[in-house]
Amino acid sequence: MITRDTPFSAEDDGYHQPTDNPLDLETNWWAFNVAERRIGGWLHAAYYPNRATVTWRVFVWDDKGADPSRLAYYKKVEDAPMPADPDLRNIAFPQGGYQLKMLTPLMDYHVTYQDAERHFGIEFEHRSVHPPHRFTPGEAPCLTNPHIDQLGRMTGILTLHGERIAIDCFSVRDRTWGPREGAHAASQKPEYVRGETSVLHRGGPRWREIERERGRGRIQYIFGHTDASTGFLSFVRPQDGDAKGWSPLNMGWLLKDGSFTRLDKTKSAMRNYRNKDTGWSEHMEVVLVDESGRSMEAEGFAVSHMCEHGSGANALFRWEYDGKVGWGEDQDGWRVPHFSRLVQALRASK
């Protein structure tokens, strides 16, 4: 039986044997930043083994534009045919995708991508500062899907509009595999199946009530790190939040004095403040308490956004905690109709 303490193995660097579920999906994701330029970046590949296709995307954002047409760089290739028996430990994704090579099992990796036509490129090494963490099976949002989150130091070069920009940051990679999308992604809560809206705790601003609606596919993921000794990472559960705007953190870690410990989800929470015009996250307060009783308070401010799907945004965040400054992200996932209602409530004059 797999528990939260079951270690990953070197085989988990490669692709896994799929089931016969057509929704099987295996991903890898890399996030980096250049804080002084307000630049954030992603490389992501989603492999559908039973379709033998992969959808990959590479994007870089800054404070000059948030939607794909205005980003510093954006490219997405959907459903590219994947060669037979791909090896994720040493792969070049088809149709010009990025290249990934494992250097040390479960720990160190080399990533590179080039788009000569647009004078763009990324090359970095991710050197992990800890073994990969497994989240608790059966808990949202991972449920039955194995999931890796791993902090590392990323060093390399970003070439943007022909300019070479140094990458040197502490950021996160992740991996997940198993059935996704379709029925797996739909809430099974009775009120959702009936088409009803449920809020656990009524009260507070109307937009916060909308944010707390259950069964709407909401997911929020926050992290920030200064170095290999200080930072945090967690998934947020606005659906379980209170009327004062505090949302519990249900999975993740506190990194303090160089020691990683799982969060106590009964004592850790986040309160978000949104821009009234865009609806995007602008300012956060985070209270973190780990299972050993250690604590940290963090305050974060968004410095740039990337809105890929017309609703919530990925934001580069500047964090302050324990007398230090750290950098990371807020990933604020919404379905468009739900997000539209939130924005209208934020903009309401009465």
Amino acid (one-letter) located at 300: G
Nearest CA to 132 out of 291, 290, 264, 10 is that of 10
Nearest CA to 221 out of 29, 74, 45, 15 is that of 29
Nearest CA to 141 out of 208, 284, 240, 49 is that of 240
Sign of CA dihedral 305, 308, 314, 316: negative
Q: Is residue 64 part of a domain?
A: yes
pLDDT tier, 183 (very low <50, low <70, confident <90, very high otherwise): very low
199 and 304 housed in the same domain: yes
The token pair that represents 224 in the structure block: 């920030």
Query: Quick one: average pLDDT of 180-192?
Result: 55
Q: Is residue 5 part of a domain?
A: no
169 and 211 housed in the same domain: no
Using one digit for the tens of pLDDT, what is the confidence trace for 105-130?
A: 999 999 999 999 999 999 999 999 99
Q: How many domains does the chain have?
A: 2
The pLDDT of residue 187 is 52
Q: What is the rounded distance in angstroms from the CA atom of residue 76 to the CA atom of residue 57?
A: 4
Q: Is residue 325 part of a domain?
A: yes
Among residues 155, 179, 203, the one where a domain terminates is 179
166 and 290 housed in the same domain: no
Using one digit for the tens of pLDDT, what is the confidence trace for 123-165?
A: 999 999 999 988 777 776 666 788 899 999 999 999 999 999 9
48 and 164 housed in the same domain: yes
pLDDT at 217 over 50: yes
Q: Residue 141, preceding bond cis, omega within 30 degrees?
A: yes
Place of tokens 């194995």: 146
| Exposed e or buried b per residue across 268-285, where buried means at least 16 C-beta atoms within 10 angstroms of its C-beta | bbbbbebeeeebbbbebe
231 and 311 housed in the same domain: yes
30 and 66 housed in the same domain: yes
Q: What is the CATH number of the domain that holds 56?
A: 2.40.370.10
203 and 327 housed in the same domain: yes
207 and 156 housed in the same domain: no
Q: Is residue 124 part of a domain?
A: yes
HSE-CB at 70 with a 13 A cutoff on CA atoms is 10
Among residues 179, 201, 222, the one where a domain terminates is 179
- Over the Cα atoms of the chain, what is R_g? 20
Note whether 303 and 328 are within 8 A (CB). no
Q: What is the CATH number of the domain that holds 303?
A: 2.40.370
Among residues 179, 201, 217, the one where a domain terminates is 179
| Domain that residue 314 falls in | 187-347
Q: Is residue 12 part of a domain?
A: no
Q: How far is CA 243 from the centre of its chain?
A: 26
Using one digit for the tens of pLDDT, what is the confidence trace for 283-292?
A: 999 999 999 9
DSSP 65: B
Query: Quick one: average pLDDT of 295-319?
Result: 97
290 and 166 housed in the same domain: no
Q: Is residue 15 part of a domain?
A: no
- Strand 39-48 to 219-225 pairing: unpaired
Using one digit for the tens of pLDDT, what is the confidence trace for 42-97?
A: 999 999 999 999 999 999 999 999 999 999 999 999 999 999 999 999 999 999 99
Using one digit for the tens of pLDDT, what is the confidence trace for 83-94?
A: 999 999 999 999
Place of tokens 């990683």: 260
Q: Is residue 285 part of a domain?
A: yes
pLDDT tier, 190 (very low <50, low <70, confident <90, very high otherwise): low
131 and 163 housed in the same domain: yes
220 and 166 housed in the same domain: no
292 and 226 housed in the same domain: yes
Mean pLDDT of the chain: 93
The pLDDT of residue 145 is 83
The token pair that represents 86 in the structure block: 């791909």
Q: What is the rounded distance in angstroms from the CA atom of residue 239 to the CA atom of residue 217?
A: 10
Place of tokens 């821009």: 275
Q: Is residue 251 part of a domain?
A: yes
